[in-house]
A and B are shown apart, each in its own frame.
Chain A
Amino acid sequence: MKTVIFIIAVLALFVSSTIISGQVSVQSPGIGTPLGPMIAGTDFSGSWRWLNHQDATLFTAAGDIGDWGGIPLNDAARLYALSWQASRQTVKQQQCMGYAPPYTWMSPGNHRLWEERDPFTQRLLAVHYWGQIAQVNRVVYMDGRPHPPAYAPHTFAGFSTGKYDGHVLAVTTTHIKRGWLRANGAPQSDAATVTEHLIRHGDTITVFAEVEDPVYLSETMTKTSLLSRQAVAPDAWLYACDDSEQIPGRKGDYVPSHFFGQNPFFREYADKNKVPVLAAFGGRETMYPEIYAAVKDTAAAEAAVKAKMAPSGPPQASRAPDPTPNDGNIHVFHVAGNIYMLTGDGANIAVQVGPQGALVVDTGAGKLSDKVVAEIAKISTKPIQFIVNTSFHADHVGGNKKLQAAGADPSLTGSFFSNQFADAGQGATVIGHQNVQTRMEKQSPPMDTPPSDTFIEDRRRKFHNEEPVEIFPMPNAITDGDSVVHFRKSDVIVTGDIFTTTQYPFIDTKNGGSLQGEIQALNFILDRTVYQHDEDGGTYIIPGHGRVTDEWDVAEYRDMLVIIRDRVQSMIKAGATLQQVLAARPTADYDTRFGATTGPWTTNMFVEAVYTSLKK
């Protein structure tokens, strides 16, 4: 009886509110049923497939070389695309490359969208997306959470948050890995921000995407993709991909590419489809009707094509934001397992915590050491026991003195060392390659607190904080004293400056560094990494500078260096001088990502280091 009364009361309230609000029936055919959950038109749940009525030849890894019309590629991106060879996909790390948005929508497999709701309030927490091809797993958070810090790892799916603007779901995605705008060489950088607007009309979703990429686009790229609802959910949702040896015997430093101006296929698409090459080359002008005027003068257009085949103009600096906060504070990021990254004072600092004392890799520039010590104390209940230096460079060892003094090495106290050294165990033990010690001591004035525990050729290994820790010397990479540290249980590798996400490698040829050693070191790291799924996750990497990464970013860095090496090597073989090599800008397609025109490590310095390495 109580229930009946309650229902009648609700009914009366509803009817009266309808009357009071003055709503009358007007002609406005809505989208869907008012009973919900779900307002069709704004609920995207269901199984979908890409509709190929438009861009029919461009799905997934399709698209001809030179088919870049309508993409506002900048000069660096076009050079990247012209340099790209399809056989690059035979390189191990490229074989299971993931799909980045918005390219994801063009994959030909099945797509599924569904909602996650709070079980108690039914508030929308997230919209989930699963794409069969590459098993893309995206979560669009609808709960207002912030995006991760800039020094957090990227994934192919990125980190997405969503917001409804009326019936349009706007999804903002950051932290995306370098992927494809089109899988025919047109790159999307890891600095891109993608905003997708999902619009549903009946059984069709239109995805209107904006790509803002300061590295590779001269203007926001906008495009639509279409999805058609599948009335019956398909069974195929998986995408088995394991990389494998494609060409036995191939060396680890082989990366197929075309030299600038030597891509033999650049005209094929344009000729076959009677498209002016200049238009097919992309660029902001190719998005608008004005392209017709730009290609009208055949001779001028051909000259413009020729000019776009090779670098021109002054060197470009990186347009990717620096992920390091540089705000006078130390920022702590949990990487995996026992491992944290501290950033904000020069080179990145890695900290392993556990039941024993903290093991710290590198100590930063030393300007914020007190804060570093304070932050370590927050994550480790024990004092710093070991410090490992990956290099003698000041931004890696500058905090040695304070961090060493703040720590203690109880493994020495009471050992036979106590008989030899009165201060045994007082302060952390500093470990490093012998050349780190040697070079720190040889500086004028000598640098503080060099490693006291050194090694030369063989790995140092420890079982510390309940996991195996390996310290590998990397001969003649950045210097002649580099090391990488692998925390095997946490599966985190600390690379020092052998790998950074912020600049070309600081190959210090005067102190024993070389390009060849650098590439070997990167390949060594890649031989130890295992991705979790399609080049995402698994082994995490703490670079010397920049954000946390995984295997993919290291492989991309290695590929870049091999490609640049091959270009410079080719010029040297042809008798080019250093000045001629510099003028040719062999790094032009990467400069907007890693280049510098000022500061302590410019692109020209890097090219000179490459040249010097290869001339030896």
Chain B
Amino acid sequence: MNRSLAVVCLLFMATLNAHGQGRGGGRGEAPPTPRAAAPFDMTGYWVSVVNEDWRWRMFPNKGDYAGVPLNPEGRRVADSWDPAKDEAAGEQCKAYGAVGIMRIPGRFHITWQDDQTIKIETDAGRQTRVLRFGAAQGSGADLQGVSKAEWEFPRAGLGFAIAGDRGPAQSGSLKVTTTNLRPGYLRRNGVPYSANARLTEYYDFVKGANGNTYLVLTSTLEDPTYLTQPMITAAHFKKQADAAGWNPTACAVRLERP
């Protein structure tokens, strides 16, 4: 009897605790804005550091979709990619959509557009991503889709007390879910994603041992049209002191090779 009561009490406490998480203001106060609640400052200029998937990001080739869990239809589309057709159709930016842009080598300028909105501008392809906290404000499908942002914080409370060695819970991640995408390419070689694609991104802030600051991006692309399973990749960016190297260039279907 006593044991059962103890379990009930613990569950109750856990429920209370679960509701008590986050970065809320005091009782009766309005919760802080996403900008005020940000666990880290990701504004500024960042440069992509390309090590992972170097070949496919730096010098992609048609038909080179190693690692991409394409289904037969996905492979067929990738194999039949015709860059000239894209150019003729004015579709130079199909690889610069939300799914592909963060892995294209370049620089990224991140700012708060307002207290609810993070803006990411890219020099490669001159793209702008808008990540909105709160309710999605969708419009017609475009290459950048509709991105819903939210902070994720490690929970404190009972679990924290037990696992207190994990350090203070002042950090967190930015989760971005992007849908409503116009079909595009996940690499600059015609490997497709469809309008059914859903992109989930986590941005994590890392203080490097070498004194640098990094943004680590983990992305999951779900696309039942072309993929046999969710495709998970990562990329990372180094914080720059200024806009050095910022070099806006237009979208290009073909990589200019020497």
Q: Which residues of A contact B (CB under 8 A)?
A: 3-4, 7-8, 10-11, 14-15, 18-19, 21-39, 41-43, 51-57, 67, 69-71, 122-124, 142, 163-168, 170, 172, 193, 195, 197, 199, 201, 204, 206, 208, 210, 212, 220-226, 228, 273-276, 279, 286-292, 295-298, 301
Known: A39-B159, A222-B214. A167 touches B154 (CB 8 A): yes
Known: A56-B66, A70-B51, A71-B51. A220 touches B159 (CB 8 A): no
Asked whether B151 is an interface residue with its Cβ less than 8 Å from the other chain, the reply is: yes
CB under 8 Å from chain A, chain B span 1-53: 2, 5-6, 9-10, 12-14, 16-27, 29, 31, 37, 39, 47-53
B220: A residues at CB distance < 8 A: 204
For B235, give its contact among A25, A35, A224, A297 (CB under 8 Å): A224
B160: A residues at CB distance < 8 A: 36, 39
CB under 8 Å from chain A, chain B span 180-217: 202, 204, 206-210, 212, 214, 216
For B165, give its contact among A23, A71, A123 (CB under 8 Å): A123
For B58, give its contact among A52, A226, A279 (CB under 8 Å): A279
B31: A residues at CB distance < 8 A: 24, 26-27
Asked whether B55 is an interface residue with its Cβ less than 8 Å from the other chain, the reply is: yes
* Cβ–Cβ contact B23 & A28, under 8 A: yes
A-B contact pairs, 25 of them (CB 8 A): A3-B5, A10-B9, A11-B9, A14-B16, A14-B17, A22-B29, A23-B21, A27-B22, A29-B150, A30-B22, A35-B10, A69-B54, A69-B58, A70-B52, A164-B167, A170-B209, A201-B218, A206-B202, A220-B210, A226-B218, A279-B58, A287-B50, A289-B245, A295-B258, A298-B258
Closest A residue to B57 by CB, please name it: A70
* Cβ–Cβ contact A166 & B66, under 8 A: no
* Cβ–Cβ contact A22 & B163, under 8 A: no
* Cβ–Cβ contact B13 & A279, under 8 A: no
CA distance A584 to B204 in the complex (A): 47
Asked whether B155 is an interface residue with its Cβ less than 8 Å from the other chain, the reply is: yes
What size tier do the contact residues of chain B reach?
A: 35 or more
Stretch of B73-81, B86-94, B168-176 with 4 or more beta carbons under 8 angstroms from chain A? B168-176
A167: B residues at CB distance < 8 A: 154, 166, 169, 171-173
A3: B residues at CB distance < 8 A: 2, 5-6
* Cβ–Cβ contact A23 & B5, under 8 A: no
Least distance between B82 CB and chain A CB atoms (Å): 17
* Cβ–Cβ contact B232 & A27, under 8 A: no
Least distance between B160 CB and chain A CB atoms (Å): 7
Least distance between A158 CB and chain B CB atoms (Å): 14
Asked whether B100 is an interface residue with its Cβ less than 8 Å from the other chain, the reply is: no
For B233, give its contact among A35, A54, A288 (CB under 8 Å): A54
B166: A residues at CB distance < 8 A: 39, 42, 124, 164, 167
Closest B residue to A282 by CB, please name it: B54
* Cβ–Cβ contact B61 & A274, under 8 A: yes
List 7 additional contacts besides A23-B24, A32-B155, A56-B67; criterion CB under 8 Å: A3-B5, A28-B24, A208-B206, A274-B257, A279-B58, A289-B247, A296-B258
* Cβ–Cβ contact B159 & A206, under 8 A: no
Known: A55-B67, A206-B218, A279-B58. A30 touches B171 (CB 8 A): no
CA distance A23 to B25 in the complex (A): 7
B167: A residues at CB distance < 8 A: 163-166
CA distance A51 to B230 in the complex (A): 11
Asked whether B157 is an interface residue with its Cβ less than 8 Å from the other chain, the reply is: yes
CA distance A225 to B23 in the complex (A): 31
A70: B residues at CB distance < 8 A: 50-52, 54, 58
Least distance between A122 CB and chain B CB atoms (Å): 6
* Cβ–Cβ contact B218 & A222, under 8 A: no
Least distance between B113 CB and chain A CB atoms (Å): 20
Asked whether B146 is an interface residue with its Cβ less than 8 Å from the other chain, the reply is: no
Asked whether B95 is an interface residue with its Cβ less than 8 Å from the other chain, the reply is: no
* Cβ–Cβ contact B47 & A31, under 8 A: no
Asked whether B251 is an interface residue with its Cβ less than 8 Å from the other chain, the reply is: no
For A36, give its contact among B20, B151, B158 (CB under 8 Å): B158
Closest B residue to A199 by CB, please name it: B204
A212: B residues at CB distance < 8 A: 209-210
Known: A24-B31, A53-B67, A69-B58. A39 touches B234 (CB 8 A): no
CA distance A166 to B25 in the complex (A): 20
CA distance A4 to B210 in the complex (A): 54
For B107, give its contact among A29, A172, A274, A289 (CB under 8 Å): A289
Closest B residue to A124 by CB, please name it: B165
CA distance A18 to B59 in the complex (A): 55
* Cβ–Cβ contact A39 & B55, under 8 A: no
B209: A residues at CB distance < 8 A: 170, 172, 193, 195, 210, 212
CA distance A10 to B161 in the complex (A): 15
Asked whether B98 is an interface residue with its Cβ less than 8 Å from the other chain, the reply is: no
For A197, give its contact among B10, B26, B52, B206 (CB under 8 Å): B206
B22: A residues at CB distance < 8 A: 23, 25-28, 30
Asked whether B101 is an interface residue with its Cβ less than 8 Å from the other chain, the reply is: no
Least distance between B175 CB and chain A CB atoms (Å): 8
